Structure 1
Amino acid sequence: MPKITVNKAVLSYKFLDNRNAETLVFSNSLGTNYSMWAKQENELSKHFNILFSDTRGHGESETTEGDYSAEILGNDILQLTEILGVKSFIFCGLSMGGLIGQWLALNAGERIEKLVLCNTSPKIGTKESWNERISIVKTKGLKHVAENTAEKWFTDDFIKNEPEEVQQILENFKKNSAQGYSSCCAMVRDADFSEEIKNIEKPVLIISGSEDPVTTLDDGNKMQKLIKNSQHIILNARHLSAFECPKEFNDALLNFLK
């Protein structure tokens, strides 16, 4: 993928300019890279220009020093899109990407046309749990925390029926920079839009996984109540709903966006 320097970091991205009227920007979850959206590319490219990127500290994007924040990662998206000539866009983020989306809607709403918040919450986890994870990764590496990741990300049936796909996602997880992953953990630890999310005015689609143990169905229901111009779709999935249920996910996006 091409690389470009934005916001003092080198980001790896893939921009599909299909000469459509609207651009759809995707943002990956913690521990993945842009390939988690592979099952969205072909179908949604028929209707939109598509921009994928590896979040700072993930995939082929640069790992910069220090803790990251929603502001830093949100500005990565704003500067990348501006350099590519995309003045306004639809944003779709999952988990950590959903936190970035909330920051964008609250701080750069004039650039956002619509927002898709997948398997996320205004506040994910606790300060203590994230500090513990950061400590484990720094001392023992990503392989140690990868052990139980599949069970959090995918239903038992998917793990059983699609072992190669699950293995590929886990291999990508382990290839990430431990420092970059920890820096993004700090971002998720510190991001809290619980009081502000009610101020989002753009149309919002919330997608939850019925079996998601990380950002639960209850989290999705609470978000829908707080965001006045929102709708909530539930998929039979765990945390990586876009990867586990691509047809249902793509249909939900198209119904909302078109």
Structure 2
Amino acid sequence: MASTFVEVDGCVLHVREDGPRDGPALLFSNSLGTDLRIWDAVVDALSDRWRCIRMDKRGHGLSAQGDAPITIERYAADALAVLDRLGVSKAVMVGVSIGGMITQATYAARPATFAGLMMCDTAAKIGSADMWQQRIDMVHRDGLAAMADTVLQRWFAPVFHRDRAVELNGYRQMLVRTPAEGYAAACAALRDADYTAKASAVSVPCVVICGAEDGATTPEVVSAFAGSLPQARYVELPDVGHLPSIEAPEAVVSELKTLLKEVNHG
């Protein structure tokens, strides 16, 4: 299926659907500095049976930023508006990094919509306020290109840097072409978000994945987050960094299919 554009509260969002319109719905949420293409390999393996819905969050990819203040809750409201526009009443949501926090916020806003959640390389709170403010200041001062190499070290495991140099360059382009204002706004949303107190209220089965070589949200952080959820299974992937949908899509698909069977979602 082709990409489409949806207007939500005056902001035009880029949405893509793949798979049968009458299939069980999956909603994917991207990481900081990426767009919906990071899920390509995962969606390719699932779209024969499931309705796979992807969207670029505000200020990323082909989505506008809009005038509303950017918060994790704003991103969640956009996700729910897209589901409503597409007529989806039940879904499983999959998010990575900030997308995992958006997943938590989307669930918190409307728990009955979700049969289960998969959250990759994320936590209920990520980093410190000072860390994110330094990142924001650096983006405004120097631009994304100045920090790209450092970010890529956190994103991908050493084996990816060694063996997949061409792809690495491609994902560097994805990062540096992210609008600086959209990236900084997402950093501010992360700076201000803390879902620690809401973790115990997540009452659906969850799978929490972490790359063993993640330099952004470490296995210690992600496994502790998984332990705070009432019904979570933690999976650690060797030789994988921060973006398992790119580095190990087969493992993501396998774990997601296990969750989908557990919650009887297709």
1:139 aligns with 2:141: yes
Kindly indicate whether residue 60 of structure 2 is the aligned counterpart of residue 54 of structure 1.
no
Report the number of matched residues: 258
1:200 aligns with 2:193: no
Task: Say if 1:113 and 1:202, in contact at 8 Å, map to a contact too.
Answer: yes
* Aligned partner (choices 242, 245, 259) of residue 256 of structure 1: 259
The offset of 1:19, in angstroms, is 4.1
1:187 to 181, 186, 189: 189
| 1:130 counterpart residue number | 132
Q: Could you tell me how far 1:66 is from its partner in structure 2?
A: 6.3
Deviation at 1:224, TM superposition (A): 2.3
Q: Deviations 1:228-257 (Å, cap 9, x if unpaired)?
A: 111111112111111101111111111221
* Deviation (angstroms), 1:8: 2.5
User: Match of 1:143, SS?
Assistant: helix
TM-score, normalised to structure 1, is 0.96
Q: CA 1:19–1:63 in 2, change beyond 3 Å: closer, same or farther?
A: closer
Contact kept, 8 Å, 1:67 with 1:184, in 2: the verdict is no
Opposite residue 251 of structure 1, the aligned amino acid is S
Contact 2:148 2:176 in 1 (8 A): yes
Residue 250 (structure 2) aligned to one of 247, 251, 258:
247
Secondary structure, counterpart of 1:104 in structure 2 = helix
CA drift at 1:103: 0.8
Q: Which runs of 5+ in 1 are unaligned?
A: none
Structure 2 residue 152 is matched with structure 1 residue 153: no
Matches of 2:49 and 2:219 in 1, distance apart? 29
Q: Given the two structures, how large is their TM-score scaled by the length of structure 2?
A: 0.93
The code of the aligned residue for 1:46 comes to: D
In the alignment, structure 2 segments of 5+ residues that lack a partner are 262-266
Mapped partners of 2:90, 2:106: distance in 1: 12
Q: Deviations over 1:178-209 (max 9, x none)?
A: 00110111111111011211111111110011
For the residues of structure 1 that align with 2:171 and 2:14, how far apart are their CA atoms?
18
Give 4+ residue runs of structure 1 displaced > 2 Å after superposition.
Answer: 64-67
CA offsets 1:50-97 (integer angstroms, 9 cap, x no match) = 001111110110022464111100000000110111112110000000
Q: State the identity as a percent.
A: 29
| Structure 1 residues 1-258: aligned runs within 5 Å | 1-65=3-67, 67-236=69-238, 237-258=240-261
Q: CA RMSD in A?
A: 1.3
Q: Does the aligned pair in 2 maintain the 1:146–1:174 contact within 8 Å?
A: yes
3-state SS in 2 of match to 1:147: helix
